[in-house]
Amino acid sequence: MSDIKKEKKIVTFKWNDQEIQAEEGSNLLKAALDHGIEVAHYCYHPGLSVSGVCRMCMVEQIGDKAPPRPYPSCNATVSEGIHVRNDTPKVTSAVQSTLEFHLVNHPLDCTICDQAGECKLQEYYMEHGAYDSSMVDKKVHKEKVQDIGRNVMLDAERCILCSRCVRFTAEITKTHELGILNRGDHAEITAIEPLKNDYAANVVDICPVGALTSKDFRFNQRVWFLEDLETTCLGCVTGCSVKISQNHNGAFRVRPREDQEVNGYWMCDEGREIYKHLSSLGRLQFPLKNNSGLFIPTESEQFLSTLPRPMAIILSTHLTVEEYEAIFHLIPEDQVYFYRLPEEGPEFDSLLKRSDKNANRLGLEKSYYKAYNNVLNWTTKDCSLAGAKEKLNSVKSCFIVVPEFLPHFIKAKNNFENFLHSLPKECLKIALAYDDLFQGINHCDYLLPVPTFAEKDGTFFNFKEQARTLKKGIVYSQQAQSVPDYLALITKTTNNSKGFSHAAQ
Amino acid sequence: MNSNLQPNFNYVLLSHHHIPNVQEIEVYEQAEGYSAFKKSLSLTPDFIKEEVKASGLRGRGGAGFPTGIKWGFFSKDREAKKYLLCNADESEPGTFKDRFLVEKNPHLLIEGMLISAWALGTQKGYIYIRGEFYHQAKILEKAITQAYQKGYLGKNILGKDFSFDLYVHRGAGAYICGEETGMISSLEGKKGQPKLKPPFPAIKGYRGYPTMVNNVESLAAVPWIISFGAARYRQWGTEKSPGTKLFSISGDVKKAGVIEVPLGTPLKNIIEDHCGGMREAPLKAVIPGGSSAPILTAEQAYKVKMDYEDVASYGSMLGSGAIIVLDQTRSIAEILKWTLEFYHHESCGQCTPCREGTGWMEKIAKRRPSVEKTSTPEEVMDLLNRVAQNMRGQTICALAAAAAMPTQGILKAFPEEMKAYFGNLKS
Amino acid sequence: MSTSLPFSFTEKNLKEYQEILSRYDDIESALLPVLHLAQEQHGYLPTVVVEYISSLMGIPKIKIQEVISFYDMFYDTPTAKKIVQVCTNITCSLYGGRKIHQELLSHYNTQNMVPTKDGEIFIQKMECLGACEIAPCIRVGNDYYGPIQDTQEALNKIKGESANP
Amino acid sequence: MLLNKDLYQHHGYLKGLYLALKITLINLLRNLFKKERLTLNYPEEKYQYSDRFKGLHILTIKEDGSLRCTSCMLCATNCPAQCIHIVASNHDDPSVEKAPVSFEIELLRCVFCGFCAEACPVDAIRLGGEYELAGHFERDWIVDQHFLAYRKSLNEGKGVLSVVEDKNRMKLKL
C-alpha cells in the first residue's frame, strides 16, 4: 500500500503536438529530451542543478491557466495535461534573439576551435540563427589560451557563461576550483587555482561551446573526421560506459556515455587515457621472435607446433567473458593461471574510481566457475603471488597474456617486469601482447599480436556484476588473433596428445 | 507639551520628522512611538494582515504589488522557521527616500517590522541596507540596540509569547541586490544574483525557508495603518492606489528632496508647489519613477497624476517614486547614455539577454562614425529598439526590462532629438 | 599593506567576527560583513585575505573571490587611505559629476580605481550613490558631501576630511 | 554508336569523312598562311592563361613569412580527391593558437577543382598560374608546406604574389 503511494505518478502532457508520458513533478525539459525532442539549451545538464540562465529552452504554455509569458522549460515540472509549445512565434523569436545575444561577444574563431563540428552554438545557429548580423561594435575581449590545470584549456572569450563547469566543480567533485568573476558582460570563468580533481576533463565534455578544450585532444583531429565507438572502460572494475573517437589514422579521445547504472554522465581522467595504446606505434603487426635481444618477424604456426611440454597459460584479467569461456573450454584447469593486477590508489574515491584495476575480474570468476564447476582460488592461481608462481617451475613453455597496461597502471607495470624476470629461465615464454612497449619484454621469447579491448566484441562484468559490452571498432593490427584462436591452433596441431588437452575430451 | 514634540499624523511616513532627536528611543516613545506595536500585540495576526490588505497598501519598492496580498502568500505556520527581510538596498538612480526615512526616524521602521513580524510570525529579521549607507546603518544599529534594551526586541517581547531578533546587514554596492531574490542570494553570502522563480521567496527564500521581503517604505507605513485603521488610510490616494507616498525629487527644480504626498497628486503640483518650480529653464522632460521608468515629455508631465495607474497610462511607471526633472538645456541622448552605462555596469551577468544586451545597447548608443559608416540614424534607432525589445521578458529578474524600457521610452518620446544625435555622430 | 605578508584578524576584530557570526543562522551568510571587516583592517582584499577567510570560515576560495569581484565596494587591488567615490549617475552628471571625476583624476594624476603613488587617494567612479538631492555628490570614506559646486570644493572636502578625523 | 542514323543510311561514311577532312584542311591552310595561329610552338612559346586559371596550389604567407593557414582542415574536408593531409599543433604565439606542422598535398590525386581555395575561410590556399607539372617519381608529387609556400617560383612573394595580409586581402589580384 505504502509502496504504491511512493511510486511517482505517470502523467501525460503535450509538447507541441506530441503527447509525452513522464513522471509527475519531473523536469519538463528532461522529459522532452528523453523523448527525442530537440530543444535548444546550453545551461541545463541532467547531471547538474538547474541554473536557468541561458534562456534558450523557452516554452509557451497553452490553455486557460497558462502564465502570460514564455518560461524556461528547464525550471518547470511536468504536470498532468499541460500543453506547452516551443514553436509559437513568441518563443521562436525569443530563442532567435537570445541566440543573437549569445553571439554578441563570441569570437569568430571556429576555424581554430576544437569544438567546431560538435558546438551547440553552431548547431543552434543553423536552426535559430538571425543570419543577418547587426553587430558592428567592438566585442568584449577576454583572455584566450589559458592553461587552467589538469588537462583543460580555457578560452574565456568563447565562453557563454552557462556555468555548467562551475556547477560541476561545486556539485559533483565539490572541489570548487572554478567560478565566475565580475558582473555583466565582463563576467568570466576563472580558476583561481589550477584544476586539481581527478574528474576535471568532464568540464570539457559538458562545455557546450569551445571555451573549455582538452589539452590532450587539442588540435589533433577535427571532430567530423571521427567516429564514436561505444564501449566500456577497462581502467578499473567500475566499468564506466564510454565512447572512443577514432578513425583510420588512430584513436583520439575517450568520453563518457550516459549510463545511469554505473557512471551517470561522468568518467575519471585516468579512464580518458585508455585509447592511447590502441593505435600506438608499438602495436604488434606480426609475430616476433626474440633473437638474443633483437625481435625479428616469424611465422606463428611454425613454432607453435614444436613447443616443449608441459605447458601453462597465464591469463590477464582484461579478456572478455567470451574469450575466457573459449579458453577454459580448451585448457584443463591445472594449466590455467592468472596474473592479477595490484591495487592502485584509494579503494573507492566515492565517485567512480576504484583501486581494483582488474576490470573483468568478476567475469573471469564467473566463467571459471561455469567451466570447471569450481570456485576460483586466487591464492593458488594468481601468479603475482609467490605461492602460485612456484607451480610454474616445472613448466617448459608458458603463454603469458600481457594485461592491457594503461598509463595510470604504474605499480602494475613494474610488478609485471619483476614477474617476467622471476619466471624460470629455461621456460619458453610466449607473450600474447598487443604492443611491444611493456616492460620486461626482453624476458620473452616470442611475441604474438592480440587485439585490444576496442578490437573485439565481448562482455565485461563490472563491480556490480552487470554485463557491459565491448564493441569491435577499427582494427589497428591486422594480423592480431584472439587468445583462444592461438590456443585452438595449438590443440589442432598437437592433436590433443600432450600439453594443452581438451578438458571435455 | 511642546507641539513640536508631537507627531503630525497628517503624514504617514514623515509624521515624526520634525521632532528633533527622534532617532533616540525615548524621544520617539514620547511622541507616541511604539504605541501602534503595543496595540498590535493585542490584536490577532490575522486581523493585522486583513487590515493591511484592506488598506490597499502597495509595495513601495517599485513593482507596486499589494503588500497585504503578498503577505497572504506567506506560510501560515507560526512555528516554522521564517524570515522577514527589509529591503533598504535603495540603488535605483534618483531614489533616496529610504535613506531619508531611516536616517531621520529609524524607530518607525523597526516598529513597522515588529508589527509585520507579529502578523507574519517570523522569528528573525534583517534590514538589508546598501553598503554605501554606512552612517545610516550605524543609526539603525543604535536604534536596534535601544529597542533591545527597552524590550521591544528579543525573547518574549513585552511579556507576549513572541520573539523577534532584528539585525542590520550591509550590502556592498550592487544594484541587483535590490531585487528580492538577489537580496536573498546576497544575504546568503553569495553573489547577489537573482534566483529562478518558482519557488518564490514567500515559499522558499533565505536559506530555503519562507522569507518575506518588503521595502522600507511599505513596512514604515504599517504602524500608521494599525494605529488609525485601513479606512482612514484610504482617505488619501485613489481607489487603486490608496495612501500616501514618498517622492524623491531631484534634477532641475529649485528645491530637491523627499516629500510625502497622497498618491494621485498631479506632478505639476509637486514640481511647482512642493519643489518651488523649475530652476532656470522651462521643463523638458521628467523621469517619473527612477531610471527604469520611461521618460515623460513636458506635456505629459503636466497632465499626469502621480499614482500607479495614471503614470502607467502614459506608458511609464511610478516605480520607486524617484522624480528626475530635466529642463530644456538637457540633452536626452546624454541621459540615455548615462542610463545605459548604469545598467551595463549593474547587470549581474547571469542571463544572456541582459548580460550581453545591456553592454550592446550601450555600445550602440555610443556608436562612433569610424565604427558605423553605413547605417542611417533610423537604422541605429531601429536596432536599439529591437535589441531593447528582445531583452524584455527574457530574463530571471526585471533588470533587463528596466534597461530596455527607458531606452524604448526615450526613442519614442524624443525621436527627433535622437535622430539628430545619431545623425551628428556620422558627420 | 603588502600582499606577501600573511593576514589575520586582530584580536579586536576576531571578537567582532564572533559577534557577526552570532547574528546569522549559518556561517555563509556572514561572508559580506566579514569581508567588510577584513577590508577595514587591510584596506583591500588580496589573495592572502581570501585564503585567511577561506580557512577561517570554511568557504571555498573561489566563492569568496566571486563575491569580491561581484560587489563594487570590495577591492582586490590596492586602495588608498582615502577612498573617494564620485557619483556619475543621471542627476549627478547633470550637475557635472563626470567633470568633477575627470578633474579629480587629473589633479591627482591618477586613473580611475588606481591609488595615487603616495597611497593617499583612491578615486572611484560610482553609479548612483543614493543622494540625488545633493547632486553632484561625492563620498569620502563613509561620508557624503554635496552639492559639490566645482572641483575645488571637492578637493577641499577630500582634504578637510583628514583635518577632521 | 551512330550519332546520325539518317546520314549513315543514305550516304555511307563518305559524307562524314568529307566533312572532317574539310575542317582539317581549312585549319591546316589557316595555320600555314595566316599570322595569327591557333597552335603554339610549345615549350618555346607559352600560353597566357587568365588570372582565374587553377594551377599549382599556393599556401599564402603573412608579411612576417609565416603561413596564413590555421589548419582548420576545411580544405581537407572539402577535397573530393582527399589529397590534402594536415597535421596541426599549438603555436607558440597565443594570438595564433593553432598552426600546421605539416601540410601535404598529393598532387597526383588532385583534380585541381579549387574547392580547397573555395573552402578556406582565411584565404590561406590559392590555386596559382603554374601548370607545367611533370616528373619522374610519384614521391616527388607529394608536396609539403615548404614547397607550397616557399618554392623558388614564388620568390617570397616577389615572384608570384603570395603574401596576403588581412587588411589588403580583398584588394589583391594574383
Nearest CB to B353; choose among A55, A75, A105: A55
Q: Are B187 and B61 in the same domain? A: yes
Task: Give a yes or no: residue A15 inside a domain.
Answer: yes
Cβ pair A83, A62 in contact under 8 A: yes
Task: Write the CB contacts of A485 (distance below 8 Å, at least 6 apart in sequence).
Answer: none
Inspect the interface and report whether the beta carbons of A219 and D88 lie closer than 8 Å.
yes
The pLDDT of residue D47: 83
A346 min Cα distance to partner chain C (Å): 24
- A203 CB neighbours in chain C (<8 A) are none
Inspect the interface and report whether the beta carbons of A179 and C66 lie closer than 8 Å.
yes
The type of residue at B115 is I
Q: Are B154 and B97 in the same domain? A: yes
All partners of chain A with 3 or more CB pairs under 8 angstroms: B, C, D
State which H helix or E strand residue A119 sits in. none
Spatial distance between the Cα atoms of B382 and B399, rounded to a whole number of angstroms: 21
Task: Give a yes or no: residue B308 inside a domain.
Answer: yes
The per-residue pLDDT for range D53-105, each reduced to its tens digit, is 899 999 988 888 888 999 999 999 999 999 999 999 988 888 888 999 999 99
Nearest CB to B346; choose among C127, C135, C139: C127
Q: Do chains D and C touch, with touching meaning 3 or more CB–CB pairs less than 8 Å apart? A: no
Neighbouring C-beta atoms of residue A63, cutoff 10 Å:
10
Q: Are B207 and B58 in the same domain? A: yes
Spatial distance between the Cα atoms of D169 and D174, rounded to a whole number of angstroms: 11
Helix (H, G, I), strand (E, B) or coil at A333: helix
Task: Give a yes or no: residue A165 inside a domain.
Answer: no
Q: Are B121 and B37 in the same domain? A: yes
Domain holding A429: CATH number? Answer: 3.40.50.740
CB-based contact, C66 to chain A, within 8 Å: yes
Spatial distance between the Cα atoms of B97 and B321, rounded to a whole number of angstroms: 9
**Torsion B375-B381-B386-B387 (CA) sign:** positive
Q: Domain of A298? A: 288-493
CB-based contact, A141 to chain B, within 8 Å: no
pLDDT exceeds 80 at position D38? no
- A55 CB neighbours in chain B (<8 A) are 351-353, 394-395
All partners of chain C with 3 or more CB pairs under 8 angstroms: A, B
Nearest CB to D72; choose among A111, A145, A220: A111
State which H helix or E strand residue A272 sits in. none
Neighbouring C-beta atoms of residue B354, cutoff 10 Å:
33
- B80 CB neighbours in chain C (<8 A) are none
Spatial distance between the Cα atoms of D34 and D140, rounded to a whole number of angstroms: 42
Inspect the interface and report whether the beta carbons of B189 and C93 lie closer than 8 Å.
no
Helix (H, G, I), strand (E, B) or coil at D67: strand
List, for chain A, all residue ranges whose pLDDT scores fall below the cut of 50.
Answer: 1-3, 496-499, 501-505
A125 min Cα distance to partner chain D (Å): 18
Domain holding B108: CATH number? Answer: 3.40.50.11540
Last residue of a domain, one of A77, A98, A119: A98
Inspect the interface and report whether the beta carbons of B353 and A160 lie closer than 8 Å.
no
The type of residue at A213 is T
Alpha-helical segments (H) within chain C: 11-23, 31-42, 47-57, 61-70, 90-94, 97-107, 151-163
Inspect the interface and report whether the beta carbons of C65 and A177 lie closer than 8 Å.
no
Nearest CB to A111; choose among D70, D94, D95: D70
Query: Dihedral of the CA atoms B387, B393, B394, B395 (nearest 10)?
Result: 110
Domain holding A19: CATH number? Answer: 3.10.20.740
- A168 CB neighbours in chain C (<8 A) are none
Q: Domain of B297? A: 244-327
Nearest CB to B352; choose among A101, A183, A186: A101
Q: Which of A75, A183, A186, A188 is the best residue to mutate to test the B interface, defined by the most B CB atoms within 10 Å of its own CB?
A: A183
ipTM: 0.89
Q: Where are the beta strands (DSSP E) in A226-381?
A: 227-232, 241-247, 250-256, 288-291, 294-297, 311-315, 336-338
Task: Give a yes or no: residue A351 inside a domain.
Answer: yes
The per-residue pLDDT for range B171-195, each reduced to its tens digit, is 999 999 999 999 999 999 999 999 9
The domain total for chain A is 2
Last residue of a domain, one of B190, B208, B233: B233
Q: Are B295 and B384 in the same domain? A: no
Counted across chains A and B, CB pairs separated by less than 8 A come out at 96
Reported residue count of chain B is 427
The type of residue at A176 is H
Cβ pair B165, B153 in contact under 8 A: yes
Task: Give a yes or no: residue A262 inside a domain.
Answer: no
Inspect the interface and report whether the beta carbons of C62 and A182 lie closer than 8 Å.
no
With helix as H, strand as E and coil as C, how does chain B read?
CCHHHCCCCCCCCCCCCCCCCCCCHHHHHHCCCCHHHHHHHCCCHHHHHHHHHHHCCECCCCCCCEHHHHHHCCCCCCCCCCEEEEEECCCCCCCCHHHHHHHHCHHHHHHHHHHHHHHHCCCEEEEEECCCCHHHHHHHHHHHHHHHHCCCCECCHHHCCCCEEEEEEECCCCHHHHCHHHHHHHHCCCCCCCCCCCCCCCCCCHHHCCEEEEEHHHHHHHHHHHHHCHHHHCCCECCCCECEEEEEEEECECCCEEEEEECCEEHHHHHHHHCCCECCCCEEEEECCCCCCCCEEHHHHHHCEECHHHHHHCCCCCCCCEEEEEECCCCHHHHHHHHHHHHHHHCCCCCHHHHHHHHHHHHHHCCCCCCCCCCCHHHHHHHHHHHHHHHCCCCCCCHHHHHHHHHHHHHHHCHHHHHHHHHHHHC
- A154 CB neighbours in chain C (<8 A) are none
Inspect the interface and report whether the beta carbons of B371 and A138 lie closer than 8 Å.
yes
Spatial distance between the Cα atoms of B206 and C24, rounded to a whole number of angstroms: 11
- pTM exceeding 0.95: no
Supply φ then ψ for residue A348, to 5 degrees.
-150, 130
The pLDDT of residue C71: 95
CB-based contact, D84 to chain A, within 8 Å: no
CA D22 to chain centre: 36
Task: Give a yes or no: residue A248 inside a domain.
Answer: no
Q: Are B322 and B336 in the same domain? A: no
Reported residue count of chain C is 165
Last residue of a domain, one of B327, B348, B371: B327
Inspect the interface and report whether the beta carbons of B169 and C33 lie closer than 8 Å.
yes
Q: Please count the CA atoms within 13 angstroms of the CA of A244 that sit on its side-chain side.
A: 28
The pLDDT of residue C1: 43
The domain total for chain B is 3
* Residues 180-209 (A) with a CB less than 8 A from some CB of B: 180, 182-187
- A181 CB neighbours in chain C (<8 A) are 65-66, 69-70
Q: Are B182 and B308 in the same domain? A: no
Nearest CB to A178; choose among C50, C62, C69: C62
- D71 CB neighbours in chain A (<8 A) are 112, 219
Neighbouring C-beta atoms of residue B416, cutoff 10 Å:
7
Nearest CB to A145; choose among D73, D88, D94: D94
Across the range C64-90, mean pLDDT stands at 94
Q: Are B339 and B417 in the same domain? A: yes
Spatial distance between the Cα atoms of B393 and B237, rounded to a whole number of angstroms: 30
What is the spatial order of strands in the sheet that A428-433 belongs to?
Answer: A294-297, A288-291, A446-449, A428-433, A397-401, A311-315, A336-338
Q: Are B311 and B208 in the same domain? A: no
Spatial distance between the Cα atoms of A365 and B102, rounded to a whole number of angstroms: 77
**Which of A400, A396, A402 lies closest to A428 in space, CA to CA?**
A396
- C61 CB neighbours in chain A (<8 A) are 176, 192-193
* Residue of chain A whose alpha carbon sits nearest to that of D73: A222
- C143 CB neighbours in chain B (<8 A) are 135
Cβ pair B396, A52 in contact under 8 A: yes
Spatial distance between the Cα atoms of D141 and D104, rounded to a whole number of angstroms: 10
Q: Which of A181, A188, A203 is the best residue to mutate to test the C interface, defined by the most C CB atoms within 10 Å of its own CB?
A: A181
All partners of chain D with 3 or more CB pairs under 8 angstroms: A
pLDDT exceeds 60 at position D174? no
Domain holding B345: CATH number? Answer: 1.20.1440.230
With helix as H, strand as E and coil as C, how does A52-78 read?
CCCCCCEEEEECCCCCCCCEEHHHCEC
The per-residue pLDDT for range A411-469, each reduced to its tens digit, is 888 888 888 888 888 888 899 999 888 888 888 888 999 999 999 999 999 999 999 99
Looking at 3.30.70.3270, 1.10.1740.10, 3.10.129.10, 2.40.10.10, the CATH number of the domain D57-168 comes to 3.30.70.3270
Last residue of a domain, one of A61, A81, A98: A98
Helix (H, G, I), strand (E, B) or coil at A20: strand
pLDDT exceeds 50 at position C163? no
**Torsion A374-A377-A378-A382 (CA) sign:** negative
**Which of B28, B19, B20 lies closest to B147 in space, CA to CA?**
B28
Lookup: cell for B70: 503578498
Q: Are B154 and B23 in the same domain? A: yes
Across the range C37-66, mean pLDDT stands at 94
Nearest CB to C70; choose among A176, A178, A183: A183
Spatial distance between the Cα atoms of B257 and B251, rounded to a whole number of angstroms: 10
Spatial distance between the Cα atoms of B353 and B116, rounded to a whole number of angstroms: 37
Q: Would you place residue C41 in the very low, low, confident or very high pLDDT band (cuts 50, 70, 90)?
A: very high
Neighbouring C-beta atoms of residue B269, cutoff 10 Å:
13
Spatial distance between the Cα atoms of A61 and A91, rounded to a whole number of angstroms: 10
List, for chain B, all residue ranges whose pLDDT scores fall below the cut of 50.
Answer: 1, 370, 426-427
Rg (CA), chain A: 28
Inspect the interface and report whether the beta carbons of B338 and C93 lie closer than 8 Å.
yes
How high does pLDDT run on average in chain C? 90
Q: Do chains B and D touch, with touching meaning 3 or more CB–CB pairs less than 8 Å apart? A: no
Neighbouring C-beta atoms of residue C64, cutoff 10 Å:
26
Q: Are B159 and B77 in the same domain? A: yes
Task: Give a yes or no: residue A171 inside a domain.
Answer: no
Last residue of a domain, one of A73, A98, A123: A98
Task: Give a yes or no: residue A305 inside a domain.
Answer: yes
Nearest CB to C90; choose among B94, B130, B135: B94
Cβ pair D22, D15 in contact under 8 A: no
Supply φ then ψ for residue D52, to 5 degrees.
-85, 0
Return contacts of B200-209, CB within 8 angstroms, 24+ apart.
Answer: B200/B73, B202/B70, B202/B73, B202/B74, B202/B75, B203/B73, B203/B75, B205/B83, B205/B85, B205/B181, B206/B83, B206/B85, B207/B83, B207/C25, B207/C26, B207/C29, B209/B80, B209/B81, B209/B82, B209/B83
Inspect the interface and report whether the beta carbons of A184 and B371 lie closer than 8 Å.
no
For helices A89-104 and B352-365, give the axis angle rounded to 10 degrees.
Answer: 70
